[in-house]
Amino acid sequence: MEKTKELLLVHTSMERVTLLESVNVMLTPQFYTLKKEALPVKYAYQAKKIAPSLFEGLLEEGSSYEYMVYKEEDTWVFIAFDTEKITAFLESKGLVGGKVAKVFFAQQALDSFTAPLALSDKEALVVIDETVVVVPQSALSEDEQPSLVFGEDFTPKGGVTLKSKGMNHASMITQKQSWALAAVFMLFAGLFLVESSRYGGETKESEAQLQSLYEAYPALQSSYARKGIADKYRSIDTAERKKRDAIKAFSGMIFKGVTLTSLQVNEKSFKAQFACADAGVAKKVKDLAKKAQYKTAEVQGSSDLSIEGTL
């Protein structure tokens, strides 16, 4: 993807540029220090670990260097670069942080430098001993005059992303930490989504049951119809249950010594009269009636009891 971007050759004598879109840049050896070593290491990360010791004494003290390591046949190529200095230079030439996508080093495009490449009237880039270097044009022989045209086809594989001074200060977390945190958050997000998709199983079961009942009783599909029917039958059910409960309660009051003399149940109330053999029996009946929360009254001049209630 990066290869499709314009590749800009950055050197100290370049003109200031105005960019509309981000570009890739290729730095000349003016911005980095190169060292080649044949080391008995297998992986680039191992080589990168020993990079600082390789450049000891070669780099300016007090600067913060970063390293790029890659393999050129049997040799490891080490490139040390000062991000802050490069960033400052790029910014001075109009290449602000957001406009620079990837940064490459001229050494990475070694094979593309098939002839000298002019940087300015005075300087040129040439390959000497498999190393890209800046030389004065005056040092070039006549048959070595700069003829190479720089373009996107010089874009090598694997560049670096510059972290500007501002970036380092602004960023509170490292890229590794940010990806780790993002992974954790995304994991939770996934869990929440999976969990949310699990809800609704119970509803589906009830809905299916409801649907099958609607199919069996199509007249009850309308909530108004349902309410009308429910209201009608509910009031009947309540009243009739009360009547039947009262009759059952009165039946329970008939035992030895108690005779039912009358019972009247109508749509509003109920009333029963019992003839009791003696006061003890009458008290027992009275207690039962009170337990059922019915009104009791003794019939004057006898041990008979009158019990009544409303519906």
Partner 1 sequence: MNINWKAYQNELITLLAFVVMLGAYAYKHSQVSTQATQAQTVQQSLEELKEVIALKKIWGDKKTSKKMKKLKTLIPASKVKWSEKSKKVTASYKGLTANELNKLTTKILNLPVEVRLLDIQKTGSSYDVEFKCKW
CB under 8 Å to 284, separation ≥6 — which residues?
none
User: Is the Cβ–Cβ distance between 282 and 259 less than 8 Å?
Assistant: no
Binding mask 65-104 for partner 1 (x = CB under 8 A): -------------------------------xxx------
CB under 8 Å to 216, separation ≥6 — which residues?
none
- Residue 54 CB, nearest approach to partner 1 (Å): 29
Which residue among 58, 149, 167, 277 contacts partner 1 (CB under 8 A)? 167
Which residue among 120, 261, 302, 310 contacts partner 1 (CB under 8 A)? 261
Q: Does 172 bind partner 1 (CB under 8 A)?
A: yes
Q: Does 122 bind partner 1 (CB under 8 A)?
A: no
Residue 246, SS3? helix
- Backbone Cα Rg of the chain: 50
Which residue among 17, 58, 149, 260 contacts partner 1 (CB under 8 A)? 260
What are residue 75's DSSP bridge partners? 72
Which residue among 72, 130, 152, 237 contacts partner 1 (CB under 8 A)? 237
Q: Does 255 bind partner 1 (CB under 8 A)?
A: no
> Which residue is listed with tokens 């009850």?
220
- Residue 251 CB, nearest approach to partner 1 (Å): 7
Stretch that binds partner 1, among 141-149, 258-266, 279-287, 299-307 (CB under 8 A): 258-266
- Shorter beta-carbon distance to partner 1: residue 152 or 207: 207
- Shorter beta-carbon distance to partner 1: residue 45 or 199: 199
User: Is the Cβ–Cβ distance between 122 and 137 less than 8 Å?
Assistant: yes
* Token pair for 247: 């009759």
Q: Does 220 bind partner 1 (CB under 8 A)?
A: yes
Q: Which of 138, 144, 143 is nearest to 126 (CA)?
A: 144
Long-range contact set of residues 146-150: C-beta below 8 Å, sequence gap at least 24: 146/115, 146/116, 146/117, 146/118, 147/115, 147/116, 148/113, 148/114, 148/115, 148/116, 148/117, 148/118, 150/7, 150/9, 150/117
Q: What is the DSSP letter of 111?
A: G
Q: Does 218 bind partner 1 (CB under 8 A)?
A: no
What are residue 36's DSSP bridge partners? 77
Stretch that binds partner 1, among 33-41, 135-143, 144-152, 214-222 (CB under 8 A): 214-222
Which residue among 12, 209, 269, 302 contacts partner 1 (CB under 8 A)? 209
- Residue 156 CB, nearest approach to partner 1 (Å): 22
Stretch that binds partner 1, among 56-64, 125-133, 191-199, 298-306 (CB under 8 A): 191-199
Pairing of strands 7-10, 305-310: unpaired
Q: What is the 3-state secondary structure (H, E, C) of 148-167?
A: CCCCHHHCCCCCECCCCHHH
Q: Does 171 bind partner 1 (CB under 8 A)?
A: yes
Q: Does 189 bind partner 1 (CB under 8 A)?
A: yes
- Site residues, partner 1 (CB under 8 A): 96-98, 164, 166-167, 170-175, 177-179, 181-183, 185-186, 188-190, 192-193, 195-197, 199-200, 202-203, 206-207, 209-210, 213-214, 217, 220, 223, 226, 229-230, 233-234, 236-237, 239-240, 243-244, 247-248, 251, 259-267
